[in-house]
């Protein structure tokens, strides 16, 4: 069952990434250029565009730019996105949840998730939602991917429906966290959560700044034969750089489909996968025919990274960066542990 759920999440992610504006026909036909991996400089601050946590969060519109009216009190919250649910839990607001989408269950303690109605994020039961009388419903653009605002009746009834699209940067993730917290009346908790994450990023930056080595990294979002990865302009690409690596497909834009041939030609020093629904995702990569000459495969520098930490836009991306650092620069990770 766990494998089926993870597979469903991976498939949903691929749909989500495509829905976020991945250019059509962006699959690379050849490997990236021969720019040395060490040519990408590490940002001197991490990330440079992190929002000022002391600034007041705009609550007149949601993160998609739709006008909203914040409720006077927040006693009931519906979360229709797994990342939002995890953020609410981190903010200490899980006890205010009155319903979640089915993918959010994995981000809550099992007993807590079992007590909540779980709705299909693509086709939620609007009558049930209305009967729960939530003060806020957090939604994802995926729910209206067909072009119709399925929450329009609830908006018209006066319910605060707040859309939170997937951001393209870590700064955007932090802004989303602060928005979610502020809309729920817990701005201080949001500030503290973001500050804690930023402190860890600064610590990672200090470690990475001690080396000029920037190994090439291939991050596999979806495994062969339909390989899917990330180019520049995404928070995952930013995470690779923060962990002291260079994305071998950074010359591509956004989320991309890639061929096995282009991966072999890119010759990454490190490979990450999130295919935790496979019995042995690392072994599957190491055993792929034709991949034997890839430096990462030759050295065994292939690792599974938590899909929840690395692909759900929450402050837990910092946990994924730590995990990536341990593989890209084990010597730095060991120094930090000491």
Write the secondary structure of 200-236 as one string of H (helix), E (strand) and C (coil). Answer: HHHHHHHHHCCCCCCCEEEEECECCCCCEEECECCHH
pLDDT of residue 142: 79
Name the residue ranges covered by the structural domains of the chain: 2-13+27-42+209-337, 77-199
The first and second tokens of residue 156, run together, are 């018209």
Question: What are the two backbone dihedrals, phi and then psi, of residue 139, each rounded to the nearest 5 degrees?
Answer: -130, 165
Q: Do domains 2-13+27-42+209-337 and 77-199 have the same CATH topology?
A: yes
CA geometry: angle at 272 spanning 266 and 275, to 5°?
Answer: 120
**Residue 251: alpha-carbon gap to chain centroid:** 20
Exposure of 175 in the CB half-sphere (CA atoms within 13 A): 20
Q: Are 312 and 140 in contact (CB under 8 A)?
A: no
Upper half-sphere CA count for residue 35 (Cβ side, 13 Å): 13
> DSSP assignment, residue 280?
S
Q: What is the pLDDT of residue 150?
A: 85
The per-residue pLDDT for 322 is 95
Per-residue confidence in pLDDT tens, the chain, 338 aa: 444 444 444 444 444 443 333 333 332 222 333 233 333 333 333 454 444 444 567 899 999 999 999 999 999 999 999 999 999 999 999 999 999 999 999 999 999 999 999 999 888 899 999 999 999 999 988 776 666 788 889 999 999 999 999 999 999 999 999 999 999 999 999 999 999 999 999 999 999 999 999 999 999 998 888 899 999 999 999 999 999 999 999 999 999 899 999 999 999 999 999 999 999 999 999 999 999 999 999 999 999 999 999 999 999 999 999 999 999 999 886 655 55
263 token code pair: 């991966």
Q: Is 156 exposed, middle or buried (0-12, 13-18, 19+ CB in 10 A)?
A: exposed
Instruction: Note the pLDDT of residue 121.
Output: 86
Q: Which fold has domain 77-199?
A: Rossmann fold (3.40.50)
CATH of 2-13+27-42+209-337, one of 3.40.50.1980, 2.60.290.11, 3.40.50.1370, 3.30.230.10: 3.40.50.1980
Q: 291-319: per-residue pLDDT in tens?
A: 999 999 999 999 999 999 999 999 999 99
């Amino acid at each position: 069952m766990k494998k089926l759920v993870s597979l469903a999440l991976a498939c949903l992610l691929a749909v989500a990434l495509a829905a976020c504006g991945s250019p059509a026909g962006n699959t690379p036909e050849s490997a990236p250029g021969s720019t040395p991996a060490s040519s990408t400089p590490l940002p001197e601050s991490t990330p440079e565009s992190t929002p000022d946590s002391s600034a007041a969060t705009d609550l007149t519109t949601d993160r998609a730019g739709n006008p909203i009216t914040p409720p006077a009190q927040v006693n009931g919250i519906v979360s229709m996105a797994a990342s939002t649910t995890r953020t609410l839990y981190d903010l200490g607001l899980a006890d205010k949840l009155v319903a979640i989408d089915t993918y959010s269950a994995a981000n809550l303690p099992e007993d807590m998730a079992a007590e909540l109605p779980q709705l299909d994020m693509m086709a939620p039961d609007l009558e049930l939602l209305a009967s729960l009388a939530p003060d806020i419903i957090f939604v994802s653009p995926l729910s209206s991917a067909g072009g119709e605002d399925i929450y329009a009746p609830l908006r018209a009834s006066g319910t605060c429906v707040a859309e939170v699209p997937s951001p393209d940067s870590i700064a955007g993730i932090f802004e989303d966290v602060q928005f979610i917290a502020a809309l729920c009346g817990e701005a201080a908790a949001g500030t503290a959560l973001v500050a804690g994450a930023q402190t860890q990023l600064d610590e990672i930056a200090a470690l990475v700044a001690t080396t000029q080595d920037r190994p090439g990294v291939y991050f596999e979002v979806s495994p062969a034969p339909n390989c899917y990865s990330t180019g520049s302009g995404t928070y995952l690409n930013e995470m690779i750089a923060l962990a002291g690596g260079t994305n071998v497909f950074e010359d591509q834009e956004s989320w991309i489909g890639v061929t096995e041939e282009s991966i072999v030609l890119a010759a990454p020093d490190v490979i990450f996968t999130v295919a935790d629904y496979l019995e042995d995702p690392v072994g599957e990569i190491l055993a792929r025919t034709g991949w034997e000459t890839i430096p990462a495969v030759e050295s065994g520098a292939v690792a599974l990274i938590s899909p929840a930490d690395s692909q759900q836009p929450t402050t837990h991306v910092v946990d994924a960066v730590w995990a990536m650092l341990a593989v890209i620069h084990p010597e730095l990770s060991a120094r930090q542990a000491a």
